[in-house]
Amino acid sequence: MPDPVLLFHLSDIHFGVEDVGALDWVRREIDRLRPDAVAITGDLTMRARHREFAAAEKWIHGLDVPVTVEPGNHDLPNYYLPSRYLRPFGRFNAFREVVERRLEFADIALVPLNTNVSAQPRLNWSKGWVTSRALADCLAQIDALPPGTHALVTAHHPLREAGTRGTALTRGGTKALAELAKRNVLAVLTGHVHDAFDIMEPTANGLVRMIGAGTLSHRLRTTPPSFNELHWDGRELTVTVRNLEGRSTPEMMIHDVPEDATPPADGEDSGNKAADPQLRAP
């Protein structure tokens, strides 16, 4: 029997409005429990600002365990449209090596699935979209794993609604789930809705487990800051939602973040502020 695997599933840290106390607590838990890997399922930043990415880089590089990061809708440049279209993940440059990184262990692997697009034919661009190319990339990686390997797919947007207050409305999600159901997929790990969940989702090809992690930012929805601990013992995947204790959720709740009046650094936020389509949802 392979060694058990412990994974920390974090999401929606939103550097810029991060909960420093919650992050310190997670960091202490990482140091104490030494997970085999940390998977961060998107919305690393609040507004994809350079200073937010710098803070994210510092925190991630301070972790002494393997990390994989899936971008979220907040991580695409929002106000400088050329960057958004030409290099949507360009601001991850300083820690590019962890972005959409596949991590493999003895009999389990973390496999990325991108659910972000630069533009959408609907008003709210914060929602998810699994393009044919993104799905093909993910499936190819799963199909190339050694025989018998179980996949944990990491994505930002839940592929179908999970009953949370926040929504993902992911286009292409139903098809993606049906394709994943044909394969040796243990679960799809996501964020975006800022509340944790663990459900079995029916598809045309069988059930797929969908696991969501909460947020480590001040953008709380219905639950305190949290992350998920995933234990794989070679037969069963167990999820423990680790809530930060001692926080009163309602009084911490922020439904939207006020515009930061600080002048943007090196012109990063100049341009199309009116669009701001990413900030309408988690």
One-letter amino acid at 251 equals E
Give dist(CA 202, CA 141) in Å, integer.
Answer: 23
Among the listed residues 18, 43, 57, 268, the single contact to Fe ion using CB under 5 A: 43
Residues 6+ apart with CB under 8 A from 267: 80
- If the CB atoms of residues 81 and 169 are measured against Fe ion, the closer one turns out to be 169
Helix (H, G, I), strand (E, B) or coil at 74: helix
Residues 6+ apart with CB under 8 A from 21: 244
* 18 lies in the site for Fe ion, by CB under 5 A: no
Residue 257 tokens, joined: 């973040």
Among the listed residues 7, 10, 12, 110, the single contact to Fe ion using CB under 5 A: 12
* 73 lies in the site for Fe ion, by CB under 5 A: yes
- If the CB atoms of residues 73 and 170 are measured against Fe ion, the closer one turns out to be 73
- If the CB atoms of residues 91 and 150 are measured against Fe ion, the closer one turns out to be 91
* 72 lies in the site for Fe ion, by CB under 5 A: yes
Window contacting Fe ion (CB under 5 A); options: 41-49, 90-98, 104-112, 226-234: 41-49
Window contacting Fe ion (CB under 5 A); options: 8-16, 17-25, 244-252, 266-274: 8-16
Residue 87 tokens, joined: 């290099």
* 192 lies in the site for Fe ion, by CB under 5 A: yes
* 45 lies in the site for Fe ion, by CB under 5 A: no
Window contacting Fe ion (CB under 5 A); options: 71-79, 169-177, 195-203, 225-233: 71-79
Q: What is the nearest approach in angstroms of Fe ion to the Cβ of residue 132?
A: 22
Phi-psi domain of 226 (left: phi exceeds 0; alpha: psi -120 through 50; beta: other): beta
Q: What is the nearest approach in angstroms of Fe ion to the Cβ of residue 281?
A: 7
One-letter amino acid at 87 equals R
Are 116 and 156 in contact by the 8 Å Cβ rule? The answer is yes
Which among 60, 53, 173, 161 has a CA at the least distance from the CA of 113?
A: 173
Window contacting Fe ion (CB under 5 A); options: 16-24, 30-38, 65-73, 228-236: 65-73
* 52 lies in the site for Fe ion, by CB under 5 A: no
- If the CB atoms of residues 48 and 230 are measured against Fe ion, the closer one turns out to be 48
Residue with tokens 């030409």: 86
* 282 lies in the site for Fe ion, by CB under 5 A: yes
Residue 9 tokens, joined: 């599933």
Site for Fe ion in 170-189 (CB under 5 A): none
Residue 239 tokens, joined: 């999820």
Window contacting Fe ion (CB under 5 A); options: 64-72, 87-95, 102-110, 266-274: 64-72
**Which parts of 75-223 fold into alpha helices (H)?**
81-86, 132-143, 173-181
Q: What is the nearest approach in angstroms of Fe ion to the Cβ of residue 39?
A: 15
Residue with tokens 């440059």: 93
Contacts to Fe ion by CB under 5 A: 12, 43, 72-73, 192, 282
